Amino acid sequence: MNTLLVMLGGGFGAMLRYVVGVFIMKRFQHPPIPIAMLIVNVIGSFGLGLFLGIFFRELDPIIYESPLFLLIGLGFFGAFTTFSTFSVETMQLLRDGKRKHALIYVLLSVSLSILFFSSAFFLTLN
C-alpha cells in the first residue's frame, strides 16, 4: 500500500513538473541558467515546507510512516522537484564552458530551495 501511495503522488508530481516546466520554458526561451527547474524546485520546496508545517509541525523521521506524507510529501513533492534534472543541467552548463552560470545555478538552486522550504515551514508554526 505504501508503494502505491508514493507511486500515485509521484505520478501527479512528475506530470505537474512537466507542465509547469514547459510553461516556464515557453516564457523564458533562452535564459542564461535553467530557470524552469530552478523555479519548479523552489516552488516545490516552499510547498513541501507548507505541507510539513501544516500537517506534521515537525521534521521527525516518524513522518515516513504516515500515508499522507508518503502520498504528498515523498510522492508528489519528491517527483515535482528534481535533483537529477538539476544535476544534468549543471553538467550541461559546465560542458558548454559556462562555469560562472553553473555556479550561479547551483548556488541559487540550493540556497533558494532551502530558504523557501524553511520560510514556509516556520511560517506555519506561528
| Residues placed in the known binding site for Na(+) | 78, 81
Place of cell 510539513: 52
**Which value, to the nearest 10 degrees, does the dihedral of the CA atoms of residues 65, 66, 67, 68 take?**
-150
In degrees, rounded to 5, the angle at the alpha carbon of residue 51 between the alpha carbons of residues 109 and 11 is 75
Place of cell 521534521: 59
Q: How far, in Å, CA of 90 to CA of 54, rounded?
A: 33
| Phi/psi of residue 97, nearest 5 degrees | 75, 15
Q: Binding site: which residues?
A: 78, 81
How many other C-beta atoms lie within 10 A of the C-beta of residue 65?
A: 10
